[in-house]
Chain A
Amino acid sequence: MKNIFKQGAISAAFIAESIEKHKSKMNIGGHSIFLGQVRADKINDKEVMAIEYSAYEDMALEKMHQIREEIFEKYALTCLHVYHSLGQVKAGEISLFVFASSVHRKAAIDACEEIVERIKSELPVWGKEIFDNQSYQWKENSK
């Protein structure tokens, strides 16, 4: 089973390298990329400095495998890559990277959107919002 988890933030260099690697797959006509960035939310005058992610890793990887199989059945994708951070990711840094590719653009765009929604609602991952004064609260995903 593919491991989607990476310790810490996902770097711009890693994302660029992933794009570069697809040069050799010349049947691809479109990529759709989603990048989730940690937002410096202000909550009761306290600002979010970072999010610390934790996961039920075994269950999350099984679930991601299942989502991947269902997405490949539903959309004509050439390839699909998903990376999610664990541990601390500072505000402004990337914590989720979804990369869908297809022969024609529509499959990649639609699949990418559906995968992001399913990751948010179905993967057992938790984000702890850490404030500048080192207090924290558990993140809640909006719809």
Chain B
Amino acid sequence: MPVKIISFGPVKDIMGDQQFEVKDVADTDQLIQVLHHQYPALAQTPYIIAVDKDIISGNTLLNGDQVVALLPPYSGG
């Protein structure tokens, strides 16, 4: 099952506006590897990851059909 990737702020500048899906990744570590390969500038940008709107603190299994969000440091207010 593919996972949907969304990004915001400076990370969106790197990855582009479109939402896209990534297939055949077992966990978030693997997904990050794929994304860093595709977008090398990501490695120099700070961000945290939310899976289905929950911020994860370590490698997390992806069983598909989830939304993975890449969140750079917040700057609201």
Contacts and interface: CB of A to CB of B under 8 A. Distances in A.
Interface of B: 6, 8-10, 13, 50, 53, 69, 71-77
Interface stretch (A19-27, A40-48, A100-108, A121-129): A121-129
Contact of B71 (A36, A124, A141): A124
Contacts of B76: 53, 55, 84, 96, 119-120, 123-127, 141
B77 A119 contact: yes
A95 interface: yes
A139 B76 CA distance: 8
A138 interface: yes
A62 interface: yes
Interface in A91-143: 95-96, 116, 119-128, 138-141
Contacts, number: 67
A120 B74 CA distance: 7
Nearest to A139: B75
Nearest to A122: B74
B63 to A, nearest CB: 20
B50 A120 contact: no
Given A58-B53, A59-B69, A126 B77 contact: no
29 contacts: A36-B77, A53-B76, A55-B76, A56-B8, A56-B50, A58-B53, A59-B69, A84-B76, A96-B77, A120-B74, A120-B77, A123-B74, A123-B77, A124-B8, A124-B71, A124-B74, A126-B9, A126-B10, A126-B74, A126-B76, A127-B77, A138-B9, A138-B13, A138-B72, A140-B73, A140-B75, A141-B73, A141-B74, A141-B75
Contacts of A84: 76-77
